[in-house]
Amino acid sequence: MLTALTSTAPTALSLAHSSTAVPPYSTRRVVHRGREFFSAQVQPAGHGAPVPPLVLLPPVGVGIDRAFYNRLHQEWHALGSPAAMHSYDLLGTGDASPKPRRFYSPEVWAAQLDDYLREHVKTPSVLVVQGGLLPCALEVWRRSGREAVAGVSLLSPPPLRFFSKGADSRKFSRRTQRLLWAASCSPAGNLFFRRLRGGSPPGARIREFTERSLFASESDVGAEWVNQCIAGARDARSRFSTFSYLCGSIPPGGAWRDERTDVFDSLDVPLQLLRGDYGGLENATTKAEELLSRARLPARECSAIVLGSRACLAYERPAPTARMLARFMERHYRAPPARGIPAGGDAGVVTPF
């Protein structure tokens, strides 16, 4: 059971392109099954047409929460908000409460999202899925199908092998997962998390990891990003969500890497795919094609390689990401044309599909 507790008017507290930018959304406190709480940001559509809303699944990482999408909310507003847009905190992240010592499997977060879609959004939605959260979206599809999901947009998704059978046995990998999880829940795990969020100056290790593994350009790793992650990681209990994902995705047979190709193959809604060009355009195109060629309803004309980005498209390059989402919504869901779209093509993307 989900209940919206409060709705606050937009304020200037959110991190967006600048600390003074007024966010184009309201923030609501939501009750999940009577005992857990999380916040959701709701940006209304700029029109009255019956268009499915976009629901944004944030990535998982040290200090990462719904604020990851604030830049995308701003760019969506600049386009006229062609559809309503929701972003929310996964249980165990952001200001969600409580944050118990709990293993957050894809099924846990899928149940949260499924309830939110059914009881709050109340209409089938287009899921915008960042990176490794794809198994969560697939579990929502397994649970509710078209009653909850009208389409899927994948932002830098993992390769097919991430959620298909690996060489290692599931039994061995689950044992590895349990050992990693036990270590994560120990005092040593607490100290390790504090080390990850620390450094000198504050956030130095967050900056180093982002430069090494998440962003295409070091120049994009500014104070806004680092401060946002520091704030999100201030509560050390958020480590249980981060470590759940790591412990379940590092072993080839971990819970996050269970066999789900059959669920992916059953998706009979439009599927958009956006990837960054880090590592070369040809490599990015090949990885994208692997999933597009398997999808039942690939939205090839709306799929693209977003230039100058790596793993965090919605933060690194929010403007072209928003424009491609607008194209997807217009062509597949009859959303009104977005305003401010460059004439003669988008210089921020390559569409080789």
CA dihedral 40, 272, 140, 25 (to 10 degrees): 10
pTM higher than 0.75: yes
pLDDT mean across residues, the chain: 91
Helix H or strand E encompassing 78: helix 70-78
The DSSP element (H or E) to which 283 belongs, if any, is helix 281-292
Tens digits of residue pLDDT in 279-305: 999 999 999 999 999 999 999 999 999
pLDDT, one tens digit per residue, over 170-215 is 666 788 899 999 999 999 999 999 999 999 998 999 999 999 999 9
Note the CATH number of domain 2-169+259-350: 3.40.50.1820
CA proximity to 60, closest of 86, 92, 38, 95: 92
How far is CA 15 from each of CA 86, 96, 224, rounded to the nearest angstrom? Answer: 16, 18, 7
